[in-house]
Amino acid sequence: MAGILLPLRIAQSLFAIIILGLSGYVASWYNEETSTPSPARINFLFFAAVFSLLSILYLELSPRVGGGRASHPYANLAVEFLNTIFFFSGFVALAAFLAKVPICVGPVCGCARADAVFLSFVLVLWLGTNAIHVYEWLKGGLSAAQTDRKATAVMKETAAQVRAQQEA
């Protein structure tokens, strides 16, 4: 299961960057074209996307730093859960906001709708990685949730074996 986490993290990162761009366009439009500031719902999406990118850095780099001592399964689960909650909240808030807008036309409305679609995609990805971590945790205890540590150890063993074969 650890092999599927990296592609999921890459997809989560890409969608978070897309959400940053779309939300930035909508916020910029509100700040420049209207007399009201950008809605708090849009500003929250900035926070969720930046938090997601920082979380992905933690989740991917902490098992590899210092032999994995910087990574803790409870912290990993908490970070995964927080991202899921933030994106779910942002998705619901944006969908409710778009439902209340009386006239939604033009590129800014299309970007806001696309933002909601990408929020749903990234929400499903975070739910998936949550499910993987919980499944591994229930299957083998806390040590099984640290699959990245095991993968790093296997890579070190394989590299040592290759060097030994080359020297022989």
Computed from CA positions of residues 90, 15, 71, 130, in that sequence, does the dihedral angle turn out positive or negative? positive
Residue 43: which of 59, 29, 26 has the closest Cα?
A: 26
Tell me the one-letter amino acid at 14: L
| Residue 123 to residue 138: CA distance in whole angstroms | 22
Helix locations, 62-106, DSSP H: 73-100
**Residue partners of 63: CB distance under 8 A and separation at least 6:** 70, 71, 146, 148, 149, 152
The answer to whether the beta carbons of residues 75 and 152 sit under 8 Å apart is no
Helix locations, 107-146, DSSP H: 107-140
Per-residue pLDDT at 156: 62
| Residue 15 to residue 22: CA distance in whole angstroms | 10
In tens digits, what is the pLDDT along the chain, a chain of 168 residues?
Answer: 668 889 999 999 999 999 999 999 999 999 998 888 989 999 999 999 999 999 999 999 888 887 777 788 888 999 999 999 999 999 999 999 999 988 777 899 999 999 999 999 999 999 999 999 888 888 876 554 455 555 555 556 666 677 777 776
Q: Which residue has the tokens 């700040």?
A: 31
